[in-house]
């Protein structure tokens, strides 16, 4: 599973962050593989690069694919997260690319990707996930696995504080967080972003759930100083003004899990990797002490969707078989099997009907949240805008800057950065 810390390492060395918006077009870049060739058996050698844990697990996992395609060899190279950007950059410049690769949102390399052929069916995937692979109106990446943020909270402490059901609205979330402090003995009610790296991205669920958009519909300009953005950030700031959230919390994922387990901070908004971290640290005995639920709603409950996609390069030496592998990795039964091996959440909705996913009560919130989750625009400039957004949040939370002033400055910075 792609961990937040690993992604942060990659984000610091690339002028791109994550993920976009919709639609497949036939024009531009690369020759799409005909459906007939994807339908044929895979042959020859397929070279594939994958990062982190996925790169370690894939060699054994693809044996099933090789059994179904006796004439094929799949050569998987595991790439360290902190070396991925440089390795892709060098490979593309030299023309010595793999056939297929795991791609964690790097639009700077978009011209090297082949368009996704119609034979690869993305209709059954979560719409937000599909948008992560769409660059300049063209589907260039196939969603492989997804990461979406939901609310984690300590049900045992919430009950002690008088909460027998999950908070459903923003007001209820803030009140429950306060009650966790005042009635259940928590030092802090909830963990929220305060301006460190990644805060803008982590807090996007608030503006989005309040009706805000990052850009105009035609993507000609950023829209960051709107009333919807402002009231969402006022809501975020209220947690710090009322001393419900810690502005100086340790941002390491391990620290967040530790504070959650000890009850120091018994609520947080996080992705699926926290489930595994909780299980690893506390075992099954802790399972009945917490719950995951969809994010409490403002005007909506709209979370951030991320994950990793699959691409085939224009310069691939075996593109037909590469697309066959991508097609296989996108099948519901394959995605369910991959979840059992890796813990990565499927991008294909029907894969969630597998008994292994249905049986885990902590997964239901993710399945529900994915239905409405959104992704920021997959454009190179988003990384710089996100960094400016981190600074804006820090000025609001730690510097006492009025929200309107901070957003006005952020809008000016974004206008200067541009939309490319």
Among 290, 281, 10, residue whose Cα is nearest residue 151: 290
**pLDDT score for 16:** 32
Residues of the chain with pLDDT under 50: 1-31
CA–CA separation, 19 and 131 (whole Å): 7
**pLDDT score for 391:** 99
**pLDDT score for 332:** 98
**pLDDT score for 73:** 98
**pLDDT score for 204:** 98
- Return the CATH architecture of domain 4-148+306-365: 3-Layer(aba) Sandwich (3.40)
**pLDDT score for 37:** 62
CA–CA separation, 373 and 274 (whole Å): 18
Tokens 């730690």 label which residue?
A: 398
pTM summary value = 0.90
Instruction: Please return the burial class of 359, using the count of CB atoms within 10 Å of its CB with bins 0-12, 13-18 and 19+.
Output: exposed
Report which secondary-structure segment, H or E, holds 326.
helix 319-329
Report which secondary-structure segment, H or E, holds 274.
helix 273-282
Mean pLDDT of the chain: 92
Q: Which residues of 89-107 are buried (b: 16+ CB within 10 A; e: fewer)?
A: bebbeeeebbbbbbbbbbb
**Within 10 A of 222 (CB to CB), how many other CB atoms are there?**
23
Domains in the chain: boundaries: 4-148+306-365, 150-304+379-417
Tokens 């990461």 label which residue?
A: 147
Tokens 């969402």 label which residue?
A: 232
- β-bridge pairing 44-51 and 100-103: parallel
CATH, range 150-304+379-417: 3.40.190.10
Q: Is 150-304+379-417 in the same CATH topology as 4-148+306-365?
A: yes
End-to-end Cα separation, the chain, in angstroms: 30
């Amino acid at each position: 599973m792609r961990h937040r810390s690993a992604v942060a390492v990659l984000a610091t060395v690339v002028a791109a962050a994550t993920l976009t918006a919709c639609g497949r077009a036939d024009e531009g870049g690369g020759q799409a593989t005909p459906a007939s060739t994807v339908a044929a058996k895979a042959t020859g050698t397929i070279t594939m690069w994958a990062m982190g844990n996925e790169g370690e697990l894939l060699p054994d996992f693809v044996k099933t694919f090789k059994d179904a395609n006796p004439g094929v060899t799949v050569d998987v190279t595991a790439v360290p997260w902190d070396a991925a950007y440089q390795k892709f950059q060098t490979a593309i410049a030299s023309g010595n690319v793999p056939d297929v690769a795991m791609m964690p949102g790097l639009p700077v390399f978009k011209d090297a990707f082949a368009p996704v052929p119609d034979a690869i069916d993305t209709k059954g995937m979560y719409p937000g996930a599909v948008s992560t692979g769409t660059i300049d109106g063209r589907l260039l990446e196939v969603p492989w696995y997804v990461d979406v943020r939901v609310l984690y909270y300590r049900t045992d402490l919430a009950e002690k504080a008088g909460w027998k059901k999950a908070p459903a609205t923003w007001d209820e979330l803030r009140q429950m967080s306060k009650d966790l402090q005042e009635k259940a003995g928590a030092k802090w009610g909830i963990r929220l972003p305060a301006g460190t790296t990644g805060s803008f991205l982590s807090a996007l669920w608030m503006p989005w759930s309040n009706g805000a958009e990052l850009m105009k519909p035609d993507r000609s300009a950023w829209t960051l100083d709107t009333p919807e953005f402002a009231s969402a950030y006022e809501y975020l700031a209220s947690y710090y003004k009322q001393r419900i959230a810690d502005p100086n919390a340790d941002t390491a994922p391990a620290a967040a899990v530790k504070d959650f387990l000890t009850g120091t901070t018994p609520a947080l908004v996080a992705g699926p990797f926290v489930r595994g971290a909780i299980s690893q640290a506390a075992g099954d005995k802790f399972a009945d002490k917490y719950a995951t639920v969809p994010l409490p709603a403002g005007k909506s409950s709209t979370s951030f969707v991320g994950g990793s996609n699959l691409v085939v390069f224009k310069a691939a030496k075996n593109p037909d078989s590469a697309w066959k592998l991508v097609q296989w990795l996108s099948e519901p039964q394959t995605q369910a099997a991959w979840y059992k091996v890796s813990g990565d959440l499927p991008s294909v909705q029907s894969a969630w009907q597998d008994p292994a996913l249905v049986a885990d009560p902590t997964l239901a919130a993710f399945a529900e949240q994915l239905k409405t989750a959104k992704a920021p625009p997959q454009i190179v400039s988003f990384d710089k805008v996100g960094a400016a957004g981190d600074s804006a949040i820090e000025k609001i939370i730690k510097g006492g800057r009025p929200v309107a002033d901070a957003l006005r400055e952020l809008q000016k910075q974004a206008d200067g950065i541009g939309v490319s």
